[in-house]
């Protein structure tokens, strides 16, 4: 009897962990609580030293440590403020305040993985929409038209459109997946590990193990890989040639055409809705800039394709010619120097919109 009870309890526990790990809403609520506490049940969090340091438990390896040195200054611009700026972005831009931008009357930002932009456009202003995406998510996010579910007119609700089927990216769901791909999804592995093993009371053991692997085998733990020169930590998915997120994964002409078609559909829709202009801002993977050998050329291929209608905020070319360190050594994000270059490009665009009736 005891054996059966234990077995059933483990089955129920396993199903519970699987459900939690495959629910975006539940994982969001749990991570919000666990990432903000130092209690034993909290999650390991040294993101202030670098998110790759955090993932790999390399707390003791000082050479990868760096702080968020972000500094926000009001731009030197004394012109009009006729732009209502909307931005759908990710972790690169969600901390940038409205005061960093020039000539903005209203600024509305939504993190791509949390809330939605429900706009009500003011036709007396220039309405600009920026779609900011880290390079590793460009192929996934614009492989379909999921943006229509996230950014929409508050009066009309989400725009109904057929979602392109190629390339298909499954998001795990349980207990009622819409496909086999959504049920057996490798993307849930890190969530399961987070729920089973990522607890503060286990930190000492994991940090010691990570330090040993690094010092003896020159290897990082988890979803992290050390660069060949040993100076940078990279997210494995950005260097694995079998992953869509990778800078080295081949991009076929068919896939590129699909992405362009979707971006053009997005562009036509939001222009018809009343936006004066749309801009695509792709932030290069650190490995794209630091180790460009073998790069799949995703960003330049998109940016230079004459079929693409959407306007661009081209930080890739700027980064290629930059003479400063752009990315933190133990993080997937930029230093303040990299961020300021991007803000500068955005402000150039905003000033033009404030100073002219139309920008070509």
pLDDT for the residue 166: 36
pLDDT for the residue 117: 82
Q: Tell me, yes or no, whether 103 lies in a domain.
A: yes
**Which tokens is 70 given?**
């972000």
Q: To 5 degrees, how large is the angle CA 53–CA 55–CA 22?
A: 160
In a shared domain, residues 150 and 280: yes
pLDDT for the residue 171: 43
Q: Tell me, yes or no, whether 77 lies in a domain.
A: no
Q: Tell me, yes or no, whether 32 lies in a domain.
A: yes
Q: What is the CATH number of the domain that holds 338?
A: 3.40.50
Q: Tell me, yes or no, whether 176 lies in a domain.
A: no
CA distance 116 to 226: 36
Please state the pTM of the whole predicted model.
Answer: 0.86
Which segments in the chain show pLDDT lower than 50?
A: 162-173, 360
pLDDT for the residue 333: 97
Q: Tell me, yes or no, whether 42 lies in a domain.
A: yes
- pLDDT tens track for 307-344: 999 999 999 999 999 999 999 999 999 999 999 999 99
pLDDT for the residue 158: 78
Decide: helix, strand or coil at residue 353.
helix
- Of 198, 219, 238, which residue constitutes the final position of a domain? 238
Q: Tell me, yes or no, whether 73 lies in a domain.
A: no
Decide: helix, strand or coil at residue 95.
coil
Pairing of strands 233-235, 224-226: antiparallel
Q: Measure CA of the first residue to CA of the last residue in the chain; give whole Å.
A: 76
In a shared domain, residues 160 and 279: yes
Q: Tell me, yes or no, whether 144 lies in a domain.
A: yes
Our count of domains for the chain comes to 2
Phi, psi dihedrals of residue 86, rounded to the nearest 5°? -115, 135
CA distance 267 to 282: 16
Please name the helix (run of DSSP H) or strand (run of DSSP E) that holds residue 130, with its range, or none: strand 126-134
User: Whole domain around residue 214: which residue ranges?
Assistant: 2-65+181-238
């Amino acid at each position: 009897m005891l054996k059966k009870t234990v077995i059933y309890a483990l089955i129920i526990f396993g199903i519970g962990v699987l459900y939690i790990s495959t629910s975006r809403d539940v994982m969001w609520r749990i991570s919000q609580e666990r990432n903000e506490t130092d209690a034993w049940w909290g999650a390991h969090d040294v993101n202030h030293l670098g998110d790759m340091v955090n993932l790999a438990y390399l707390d003791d390896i000082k050479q990868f440590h760096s702080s968020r040195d972000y500094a926000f200054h009001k731009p030197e611009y004394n012109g009009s403020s006729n732009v209502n700026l909307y931005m759908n972005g990710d972790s690169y831009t969600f901390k940038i305040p409205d005061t960093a931008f020039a000539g903005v009357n209203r600024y509305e930002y939504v993190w791509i993985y949390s809330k939605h932009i429900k706009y009500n456009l003011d036709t007396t202003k220039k309405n600009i929409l920026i779609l900011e995406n880290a390079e590793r998510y460009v192929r996934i996010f614009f492989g379909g038209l999921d943006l229509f579910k996230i950014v929409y007119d508050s009066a009309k609700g989400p725009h109904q459109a057929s979602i392109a089927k190629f390339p298909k990216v499954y998001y795990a769901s349980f207990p009622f997946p819409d496909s086999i791909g959504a049920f057996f999804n490798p993307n849930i592995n890190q969530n399961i590990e987070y729920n089973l093993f990522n607890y503060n009371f286990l930190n000492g053991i994991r940090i010691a193990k990570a330090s040993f692997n690094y010092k003896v085998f020159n290897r990082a733990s988890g979803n992290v890989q050390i660069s060949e020169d040993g100076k940078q930590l990279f997210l494995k998915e950005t260097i694995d040639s079998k992953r869509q997120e990778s800078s080295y994964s081949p991009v076929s002409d068919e896939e590129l055409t699909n992405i362009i078609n979707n971006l053009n559909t997005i562009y036509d829709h939001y222009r018809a809705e009343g936006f004066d202009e749309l801009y695509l801002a792709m932030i290069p993977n650190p490995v794209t800039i630091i180790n460009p050998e073998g790069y799949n050329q995703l960003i330049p291929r998109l940016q230079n394709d004459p079929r693409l209608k959407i306007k661009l905020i081209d930080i890739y070319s700027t980064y290629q010619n930059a003479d400063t360190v752009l990315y933190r050594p133990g993080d997937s994000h930029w230093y303040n120097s990299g961020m300021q270059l991007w803000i500068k490009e955005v402000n150039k665009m905003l000033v033009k919109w404030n100073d002219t009736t139309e920008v070509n």
